[in-house]
Amino acid sequence: MGFFSRLEIRAKEIDSLLCVGLDPHVDQLSSEGPKAALEFCKRIVDATADLVLAYKPNCAFFEVFGSEGLVVLETLVAFIPDDIPIILDGKRGDIASSAQAYAAAIFETLRADAATVNPYLGFDAIAPFLQHENKGVFLLCKTSNPGSRDFQDLEVRNSIEDLDFPKYKSMYQLIAVKAVEWNVNDNLGLVVGATQNEPLRIIRDITPDQWILAPGVGAQGGDLDLALEAGLRNDGLGMVIPVSRGISKSADPRQAAINLNQRINHHRLSVYRDKTQSESIQVKNLRDKRLAMDILKFGCVKFGKFTLKSGLNSPIYIDLRKLTGDPNLLSRVAIEFTRILNQLAFDLLAGLPYAGLPIATAVSLTGNWPLVYPRKESKKYGTQVEIEGVFTAGQKVVLIDDLATTGDSKFEAIKKLEAAGLSIKDVVVLIDRESGAAGDLSKSGYKMHAVFTLSELLQTWFSEGLISGAERDEVQNFISETR
The full set of domain ranges for the chain reads 3-276, 286-482
Q: Please answer whether residues 190 and 141 qualify as being in contact, where contact means their C-beta atoms are separated by less than 8 angstroms.
A: yes
Catalytic residue among 42, 91, 275, 284: 91
What's the rounded mean pLDDT across residues 31-51?
A: 90
61-73 pLDDT tens trace: 999 999 999 999 9
3-276 belongs to CATH 3.30.230.30: no
State the Cα–Cα distance between residues 106 and 119, nearest whole angstrom. Answer: 17
pLDDT at position 406 is 77
Confidence of residue 145 (pLDDT cuts 50, 70, 90): confident
> 387-388 and 371-374: which strand pairing?
antiparallel
State the Cα–Cα distance between residues 136 and 56, nearest whole angstrom. Answer: 13
- Dihedral of CA 250/255/259/264: which sign? positive
State the Cα–Cα distance between residues 305 and 124, nearest whole angstrom. Answer: 50
CATH topology of domain 286-482: Rossmann fold (3.40.50)
Confidence of residue 481 (pLDDT cuts 50, 70, 90): confident
The number of C-alpha atoms within 13 Å of 109 and in the hemisphere containing its C-beta is 11
pLDDT at position 342 is 87
395-413 pLDDT tens trace: 999 999 999 887 788 888 9
Closest C-alpha to 41, from 15, 5, 69? 69
- pLDDT score of 276 more than 70: no
pLDDT at position 279 is 46
pLDDT at position 483 is 65
pLDDT at position 161 is 44
pLDDT at position 288 is 80
Q: Please answer whether residues 104 and 92 qualify as being in contact, where contact means their C-beta atoms are separated by less than 8 angstroms.
A: no
Q: Exposed, middle or buried, 25 (CB in 10 Å: 0-12/13-18/19+)? A: middle
- pLDDT score of 283 more than 60: no
pLDDT at position 277 is 47
pLDDT at position 157 is 63
Told to judge if 410 belongs to the known catalytic residues of this protein, a careful annotator would answer no
State the Cα–Cα distance between residues 194 and 164, nearest whole angstrom. Answer: 28
Confidence of residue 111 (pLDDT cuts 50, 70, 90): very high
> What does pTM read for this prediction?
0.59
165-210 pLDDT tens trace: 444 478 999 999 899 889 988 899 999 999 988 899 989 888 888 9
Torsion of CA 335, 337, 342, 346, to 10 degrees: -130
Measured from the Cβ of residue 39, the count of other Cβ atoms closer than 10 Å reads 15
Pick the most confident of 44-58, 182-196, 325-339, 381-395: 44-58
pLDDT at position 31 is 59
Confidence of residue 162 (pLDDT cuts 50, 70, 90): very low
What's the rounded mean pLDDT across residues 309-316?
A: 81
